[in-house]
C-alpha cells in the first residue's frame, strides 16, 4: 500500500513539474509578439510618407524658367542703346552753300571772302580768325561755317572750326555730329585735345565743338589754357586755318577776350537791320588793326538778270544764351552778300 501511494505522489510531482516548465516556455512567446509586429510597422510608416513629398515639391516650381526671362531682356537692350550713338550725317538741306551749292551766288561770295582773307597779307596771312557780330541774329555762325568749308575746299589748305559759344554750343548741329565733350571740357581739364577734334565728311575740315555749358565762360576763354590752345593750334600745322565762331560783341564779354588771342577779326552785319551806331559801339573795344573787314549779310541783289534775297542767320535766341525760339539753325537756307571791307 505504501508503494502505491508513493508512486502516485511521484507522478503528481512530475505532472506539476511538466506544467511549470510548459508555463515558462509560453511566457517569452507572448513578450516577443508585440516586438515583431509594432516596431517595423511604426518605423516604416513615416518614412514612406514624408521623404518623397519634400523632394518633389521644389521640382514642380520650375525655377530655371524664371531665370531665363531677364536674359532675354538684356540681349535686346544693347540694340536700343546704340541707335542714338550714331552721329547724324551732313545733309544738303543745311545752309552750307560752300559745300552743297558750289555753283550758287552765295558760294561764289564765300570764295571771294576766302581769297580776300588768305591773300590780305601774302607774306603773313592771318591763321586764327574770329567771326563775330554786334548782336545776335546777324548770321555769324552761317558765315563762320561756310568760310571754313570754303577754305577746306581749297587744294592746299585745311580748316579747323572752333565753337566758342560756351553758353549754348550749337555748331555741331550744322555738321551732324554730337556735342559731347568739347572746348569747355578741355579748358576745365576734363578731356585731352586729341580726343576732341572731330572729322567731318569734308576731308580737310575738322571741328571742335563747344562742349558742356559753363557758368563762367568768359573766365575760360580768357584763361592761360585758352591762350596756349590758340598758340598750339596755330603753330602745329602751317597749312591750317582756324576759324573761331564767337558770341556777339554786345551780348557777351568773351569776344573781347578772344580778340586779343587771334590774328584777325571778321564782323558780320545784317543789312537793313543792325544800326550803324550799334556796330560802332561793338567794335569800340577791339583793336582796329585786327579787324579784317565787315561781311554784309541779308542783302537784296537787283539787276536785269538777278533779283533775289540771300540771308543766312543763326539768330535763334530771344535772349542770347538763355532762351531759344525753337528754330533749328540747320534748317535755314541762305547765302551771303559780297564781302565788304572796312572803310578807313
Specify the pLDDT at position 303.
52
Residues 106, 56 share a domain: no
Query: Pick from 316, 317, 314, 309: which is nearest to 335 by CA?
Result: 309
Residues 115, 66 share a domain: no
| 217-228 b/e (C-beta count within 10 Å ≥ 16 → b) | bbebbbeeebee
Residues 68, 213 share a domain: no
Residues 146, 122 share a domain: yes
Tell me the Cα Rg of the chain: 48
User: Does 90 reside within a domain?
Assistant: no
Of 293 and 337, the structure prediction assigns the larger pLDDT to 293
Q: Summarize pLDDT for 233-270 with one digit per residue, the tens.
A: 998 888 899 999 999 999 999 999 999 999 999 999 99
Q: Give the pLDDT band (50/70/90) at residue 67.
A: very low
Q: Distance between CA 167 and CA 123 in Å, rounded?
A: 37
Q: How far is CA 67 from the centre of its chain?
A: 33
Residues 118, 70 share a domain: no
222's CB contacts (< 8 A; 6+ apart) are: 254, 257
- Residues paired with 128 in a beta bridge: 242
Specify the pLDDT at position 55.
47
Residues 228, 272 share a domain: yes
Most confident of 21-30, 295-304, 330-339: 295-304
Residues 74, 7 share a domain: yes
Residues 186, 124 share a domain: yes
User: Does 289 reside within a domain?
Assistant: yes
pTM: 0.64
Of 34 and 223, the structure prediction assigns the larger pLDDT to 223
Burial of 125 (0-12, 13-18, 19+ CB in 10 A): middle
DSSP 119-137: TTTSSS--SEEEEEESSTT
Average pLDDT over residues 306-318: 40
| Range of the structural domain that residue 72 is part of | 2-81
Q: Give the pLDDT band (50/70/90) at residue 23.
A: low
CATH number at residue 239: 3.40.50.300
Of 56, 81, 106, the position where a domain reaches its end is 81
Mean pLDDT of the chain: 73
Specify the pLDDT at position 19.
72
Q: Give the pLDDT band (50/70/90) at residue 100.
A: confident
All three cell numbers of 343: 572803310
Amino acid at each position: 500500500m505504501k508503494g502505491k501511494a508513493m508512486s502516485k505522489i511521484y507522478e503528481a510531482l512530475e505532472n506539476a513539474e511538466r506544467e511549470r516548465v510548459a508555463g515558462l516556455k509560453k511566457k517569452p512567446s507572448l513578450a516577443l509578439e508585440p516586438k515583431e509586429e509594432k516596431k517595423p510597422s511604426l518605423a516604416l510608416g513615416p518614412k514612406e510618407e514624408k521623404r518623397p513629398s519634400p523632394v518633389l515639391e521644389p521640382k514642380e516650381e520650375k525655377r530655371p524658367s524664371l531665370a531665363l526671362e531677364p536674359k532675354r531682356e538684356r540681349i535686346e537692350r544693347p540694340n536700343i542703346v546704340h541707335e542714338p550713338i550714331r552721329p547724324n550725317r551732313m545733309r544738303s538741306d543745311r545752309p552750307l552753300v560752300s559745300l552743297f551749292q558750289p555753283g550758287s551766288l552765295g558760294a561764289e561770295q564765300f570764295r571771294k571772302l576766302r581769297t580776300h582773307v588768305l591773300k590780305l597779307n601774302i607774306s603773313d596771312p592771318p591763321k586764327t580768325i574770329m567771326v563775330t557780330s554786334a548782336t545776335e541774329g546777324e548770321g555769324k555762325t552761317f558765315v563762320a561755317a561756310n568760310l571754313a568749308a570754303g577754305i577746306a575746299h581749297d587744294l592746299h589748305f585745311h580748316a579747323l572750326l572752333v565753337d566758342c559759344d560756351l553758353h549754348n554750343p550749337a555748331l555741331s548741329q550744322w555738321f551732324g555730329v554730337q556735342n559731347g565733350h568739347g572746348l569747355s571740357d578741355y579748358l576745365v581739364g576734363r578731356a585731352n585735345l586729341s580726343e576732341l577734334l572731330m572729322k567731318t565728311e569734308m576731308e580737310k575740315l575738322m571741328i571742335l565743338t563747344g562742349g558742356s555749358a559753363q557758368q563762367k565762360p568768359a573766365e575760360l576763354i580768357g584763361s592761360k589754357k585758352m591762350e596756349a590752345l590758340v598758340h598750339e593750334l596755330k603753330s602745329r600745322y602751317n597749312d591750317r586755318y582756324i576759324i573761331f565762331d564767337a558770341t556777339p560783341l554786345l551780348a557777351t564779354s568773351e569776344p573781347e577776350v578772344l580778340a586779343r588771342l587771334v590774328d584777325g577779326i571778321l564782323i558780320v552785319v545784317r543789312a537793313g537791320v543792325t544800326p550803324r551806331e550799334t556796330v560802332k559801339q561793338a567794335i569800340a573795344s577791339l583793336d582796329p588793326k585786327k579787324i579784317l573787314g565787315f561781311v554784309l549779310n541779308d542783302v537784296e541783289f537787283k539787276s536785269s538778270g538777278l533779283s533775289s534775297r540771300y540771308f543766312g542767320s543763326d539768330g535763334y535766341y530771344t535772349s542770347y544764351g538763355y532762351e531759344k525760339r525753337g528754330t533749328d539753325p540747320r534748317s535755314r537756307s541762305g547765302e551771303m552778300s559780297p564781302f565788304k571791307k572796312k572803310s578807313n
